[in-house]
Amino acid sequence: MDVNQLAQVDWARAQFALTACFHFLFVPLTLGLSFMIALMETLYYWKKDPFWLKATQFWMRLFGVNFAIGVATGLILEFEFGTNWSKYSWIVGDIFGAPLAIEGLFAFFLEATFFAVMFFGWNRVSARFHLFSTWMVAFGSNLSALWILVANGWMQYPAGTYFNIDNFRNEMLSFSQVLFSPVATFKFIHTVSSSMVVSALFVMGICAWYLIKKREQIFAKKCMVFASSFGFVAALAVGMTGDGSAYWVAQTQPAKLAAMEGLYKGSKGAGLTLLGIFNSDKKIGDQQEAYSFDIKIPYMLSFLSQRDFNAFVPGLEDLVYGNPENNIMGAVEKIQKGKEALNSLELYQRAKKAKDEAGQLKAKETFDLNSRYLGYAYLEKPESIAPPVAPVAHSFRIMVGLGFYFIVLFAFVIYVLRANQLEKYPWLLWLSLFSIPLGYLASQLGWVVAELGRQPWVIQDLLPTAKGVTDIEKASIQVTFFLFLILFSVLLLAEIRILLKQIQVGPEAKH
Amino acid sequence: MKVENGIHPLKRFYLFYHDGFKQMKLGKILWKIIFIKIFIMFFIIKPFFYPTAKFKNSSEKEKILKIESDFLGPLNK
């Protein structure tokens, strides 16, 4: 790919992806480790065992490093909304406003207030109030994530709103429909549980390093039992919520599901591709096979996506060209409806300017009939509805594979530690250590599937990504892209260095 | 407000933070990083590279007209 050929929208996307991926290096540890610390402190409060106090304070120190380096990086995303995505921000403003404002309040009041008590409050407030503060930090940071994910969930499935044709904005009809949309709900639970897995791998990996170095052995073994048990439960929850998420993807974003599976031709009783070599040259409508080799579980895709072993699962070609036999409207027809919506929008504006009330009413009726296809009017060709299949399919498969690997790893670590047979499996310690980055990889790939998989839409079916970008110079976005790359790299190196130093010092040091 | 151990609650609140910050070791480095980062973000990146966009500065009516012309653009081609 020639970088000079990239359009302004590509640079705006690249910059947003860079910032979001960097921001999400810190978020999972904040979300998951906060609960682990709260549980450790609860054990200390309950059992009065000083071991759990030492464990709480050590992991709290690493939590603090991660939080400090990551804090405020999310604000850069908000700069980008304003500058690079101002049209998008206008169109979604009312929907994003409420969740993001609540997020700000939660972040400020819950996290900021109780964070200070959590770090400064040892021996200065009662043990009970300190424990309460630690739990409040855990709930506060996770509730902050809830509002961000509600906003993201709405972009994937714009429920509870309508498009106001007078001001070209989406406006809220029902806050509860936005908040409790199944897409947002599963997205939140899946993100939180996967963050718990990342944190459990982090704690387990560091404990493994202590054991490899034959340091802090009692501390490391006990924390490893704790982390592997916590991680095992969280990893099972990730599997269950992942299933729920995929089900709702099938209902609301069938092109994303088809891309995740590399499914071009739909079928009844569709099989789930377990392993495969994807043919990257495959194009919609050609005669090539999507996989040069694959292993499928028969009927499983139909069951997982429609809860029926014999249900029809549409492939990309069905979604592009339509499949009347299975009641699938194709993008060809949707583009036509989108153009009718756009045409009626123009007629409405003309009638409004001419103060022609009857004309306005008629145009609005036509618009309302077709408004859910509005975004299709801007697509150049029906094939544009397909996300980039190869990166989505590969990311999905690696993420799911890692998810199963984590379940097995946690279960095996629990078994080995319970049976006191760690000496028999020295490689398990190395495996645990090198699994720390795998947790982050799975987490990032999850976002690749979610965000790349919904292309070409920035708001599903309503606004293509290219229509949301601001008319600014490509060079401005390029400069800030590289500026952020440098800033983020420096911050990441600082975090890794400080974390490594703290791990080297060990649990005995004071913060 | 209830005075406890002869210390006014507001003073206790102040001392809580004052002593907390004073006793920090690792925390001091982290706060420095936070301040440097916020300085770079708000005083370098935002004003120089993210000047308030023309669109953002427009009135609501101007914004609607701009979005309208963008949205309806394809029909006018």
Mean local confidence (pLDDT), A29-42: 96
pLDDT, tens digit (0-9, with 9 covering 90-100), for A465-506: 988 888 777 888 888 889 889 988 988 898 889 999 999 998
Q: Mark yes or no for CB contact B53/A476 under 8 Å.
A: no
Question: Does A479 contact chain B (CB < 8 Å)?
Answer: yes
d(CA A262, CA A275): 11
Residue B1 has pLDDT above 60, yes or no: no
Mean local confidence (pLDDT), A225-234: 97
Instruction: With beta carbons under 8 A apart, name residues in chain A contacting B70.
Output: 87, 467
Q: Which residues contact B45 (CB under 8 A, 6 or more apart)?
A: A76, A79, A480, A483, A487
> What does the block give as tokens for A443?
């987490």
pLDDT, tens digit (0-9, with 9 covering 90-100), for B15-60: 878 787 788 788 888 888 888 888 887 787 777 766 655 566 677 7
pLDDT, tens digit (0-9, with 9 covering 90-100), for A312-342: 999 999 999 999 999 999 999 999 999 999 9
Choose among A509, A466, A480: nearest CA to A380. A466
> What does the block give as tokens for A4?
């000079």
> What does the block give as tokens for B40?
């770079």
Q: Mark yes or no for CB contact A76/B64 under 8 Å.
A: no
- How many other CB atoms sit within 10 Å of the CB of residue B8? 12
Question: Does A91 contact chain B (CB < 8 Å)?
Answer: yes
> What does the block give as tokens for A134?
């630690």
d(CA A192, CA A304): 22
pLDDT, tens digit (0-9, with 9 covering 90-100), for A176-223: 998 899 999 999 999 999 999 999 999 999 999 999 999 999 999 999
A339, A366 contact by CB (below 8 A): no
Tell me, rounded to whole angstroms, the distance of Cα A217 from its chain centroid: 36
d(CA A71, CA B34): 8
Residue B76 has pLDDT above 50, yes or no: no
Per-residue pLDDT at B56: 63
Mean pLDDT of chain A: 90
Per-residue pLDDT at A144: 86
Residues of B near A (CB-CB distance < 8 A)?
A: 16-17, 19-21, 23-27, 29-31, 33-34, 37-38, 40-41, 45-46, 49-50, 53, 55-56, 60, 63-64, 66-68, 70-72, 74-75
> What does the block give as tokens for A256?
């994303």
Instruction: With beta carbons under 8 A apart, name residues in chain B contacting A120.
Output: 16-17, 19-21, 23
- Give the Å distances, CA to CA, from A151 to A32, A108, A111, A286: 21, 19, 20, 37
d(CA A28, CA A12): 25
Tokens 């993420």 sit on residue? A399
Q: Which has the higher per-residue pLDDT, A254 or A77?
A: A254
Question: Does A93 contact chain B (CB < 8 Å)?
Answer: no
- How many other CB atoms sit within 10 Å of the CB of residue A259? 28
Residue A141 has pLDDT above 90, yes or no: no
Per-residue pLDDT at A51: 95
Per-residue pLDDT at A187: 95
Q: Mark yes or no for CB contact A83/B29 under 8 Å.
A: no
Per-residue pLDDT at A246: 94
pLDDT tier at A396, thresholds 50, 70, 90: very high
Residue A247 has pLDDT above 90, yes or no: yes
A410 beta partners:
none
The residue in chain A having the minimum alpha-carbon distance to the alpha carbon of residue B40 is: A487
A290, A279 contact by CB (below 8 A): yes
Per-residue pLDDT at A290: 87
> Which range (A21-25, A243-247, A422-426, B48-52) has the least confidence?
B48-52
Q: How many CB pairs under 8 A join A and B?
A: 104
A181, A157 contact by CB (below 8 A): yes
pLDDT tier at A6, thresholds 50, 70, 90: low
Per-residue pLDDT at A500: 92
The 3-state DSSP class for residue A72 equals: coil
Question: Does A165 contact chain B (CB < 8 Å)?
Answer: no
The residue in chain B having the minimum alpha-carbon distance to the alpha carbon of residue A80 is: B50
Q: Mark yes or no for CB contact A480/B49 under 8 Å.
A: yes
Per-residue pLDDT at A180: 92
